[in-house]
Structure 1
Amino acid sequence: MKVLIVEDNKQIIDVLNRFLKEANHETAVVYDGGKALASFDSFKPDFILLDIMLPNVDGFEICRRIREKSTVPIIMITAKSEDADRILGLEVGADDYIVKPFSPEEVLSRINAILRRIHFENDHPQKVIKLGEIKLHLGNRKAFYESKEIVLTKKEFEILALFAKYPNKVFNRNNLLDAVWGYDYYGDSRTVDSHIKRLRAKIKKAGIDNDSIETVWGEGYRWGREE
């Protein structure tokens, strides 16, 4: 497996690099956030370890831009333990996060856990539900329009799946937070609006009318397209 390490701490890089190579993984290292996307395009990793605090471009922005074109698994590395950093990392599309200091064994354990989930989902992709003209493959969390994949984060996919399971139902912010983020989520409810905005942009880019997700003023959101 090819692992891209984006981290500016050379001591951490040396430890991760050595440990991953001993586990028979190929690695590439980037110290500068400004070079991360170019390395992603050239190296084509199967997994990314991404620090948040980086020179020039931070990890949140790198993760956000990668998620515009890829579902490659990403674990974000943070020196902070604040909930806000962890929540934002997950909101922009990270699969998991790990807080410094950590052991390389813990990193490898988290990588393997994510890979097991992905392999299971890829082996069980048979259940498909439709949301208008979009097909949602529940097993591997992939969305397609006219055979072309719409690249979504996990939360974006779950929002669309919720709309598909409850057609014509209006969901307010709290409904969506409880159903998609979970009852123990303590972040800003406006994160729902930002996810809806990104979903609309991706749906429009795929060639579907931009009014697919309807705002019901004073109530919330629902899927607005007619079957």
Structure 2
Amino acid sequence: MEELTSKEVKQEVSSGIGVDLDQVDGQERQRILVIDDEADTSYLLKQILRIAGYNVLSAANGAEAIKKTMEYSPNLILLDIMMPEMDGWQTFEYLKRMTNVPVIVVSALTSKDHIVDGLRQGIDDYIPKPFYNAEVIERVNAVLRRTNRPQEITRLVFPSVGLTIDLINQEVELLGNSIRLTPKEFSVLSVLAKNAPAIVPYEKISHLVWGEDSSDVRKRTKYLIYLLRQKFDKISSGSQLILNVDRLGYKLQTEN
């Protein structure tokens, strides 16, 4: 297979190949997240992967990548290193805390030291830029065959506000400080976090946390929200992480 230009890739895209998850939420094929701040590179990688039969989605920075990882649980991530604000290594550190999804670095940093350092940090492979299209596919296939592990999001991470929620151990950290929550407090917070940044209706919270909806249940939820705010406020005064949207529900504030 010869290397294709971006224009040639566009000509090969048809309705019979993998789905672009930025446009349609396809779920059956394996999902690959491309993280790169260069739009042309991101587009080219996505189309190469679609032609190979994968569903794809992209993120232009680390914060967007973390959000999409939580939302879509990709089977594999292709990660650029030189990105503004949150670089690839910082993004990788957050991703490692969240999930065991395999990561292939695709970077213009091609020195042996960079490659070895990346492998030591736990990445699954390293593809130098400029890349050959066929090599990208073969390396993707090889990593997926080798890892062959179920992908599970074990932590929800919101770097903009310094919040980490461990779904397995039911542990919460805010700005590096551990917060002890009761099981019901954790249930309310996890419902808001899993749906962030969307507003979660009162009725939905009631059913997910208590299994029913009534005025008494909503009062209990309101009290739990009050307790959560008090605990957050002890660490970050006036943080307002949980917002009440009048007559609609609550939402977790995940951006400063």
Name the TM-score, length of structure 1 as normaliser. Answer: 0.50
Out of 107, 113, 124, the position equivalent to 1:84 is 113
- The whole-number CA distance in structure 2 between the counterparts of 1:85 and 1:22 is 30
How many pairs align?
123
**Structure 1 segment 1-227 matched on structure 2, within 5 A:** 1-119=30-148
Q: How far did 1:87 drift?
A: 2.2
Deviation by residue 1:126-151 (Cα, 9 ceiling, x = unmatched) = xxxxxxxxxxxxxxxxxxxxxx89xx
Structure 2 residue ranges without an equivalent (≥5): 1-29, 151-167, 170-256
Q: Secondary structure at the match of 1:29?
A: strand
Q: Is the 8 A contact 2:76 2:144 kept in 1?
A: no
Deviation by residue 1:100-157 (Cα, 9 ceiling, x = unmatched) = 00022111100111122224x89xxxxxxxxxxxxxxxxxxxxxxxxx89xxxxxxxx
Percent of paired sites with the same residue: 32
Q: Secondary structure at the match of 1:67?
A: helix
- The whole-number CA distance in structure 1 between the counterparts of 2:85 and 2:91 is 11
Deviation by residue 1:33-82 (Cα, 9 ceiling, x = unmatched) = 23211111112100000000112111111112211232111001110212
- The whole-number CA distance in structure 2 between the counterparts of 1:36 and 1:57 is 10
Q: Secondary structure at the match of 1:27?
A: strand
Name the TM-score, length of structure 2 as normaliser. Answer: 0.45
Which amino acid in structure 1 is aligned with residue 44 of structure 2?
A: V
- The whole-number CA distance in structure 1 between the counterparts of 2:136 and 2:44 is 11
Structure 1 residue ranges without an equivalent (≥5): 123-147, 150-227
Q: Secondary structure at the match of 1:71?
A: coil
Q: Is the 8 A contact 2:78 2:106 kept in 1?
A: yes
- The whole-number CA distance in structure 1 between the counterparts of 2:103 and 2:133 is 16
- The whole-number CA distance in structure 2 between the counterparts of 1:31 and 1:73 is 19
Which amino acid in structure 2 is aligned with residue 84 of structure 1?
A: D
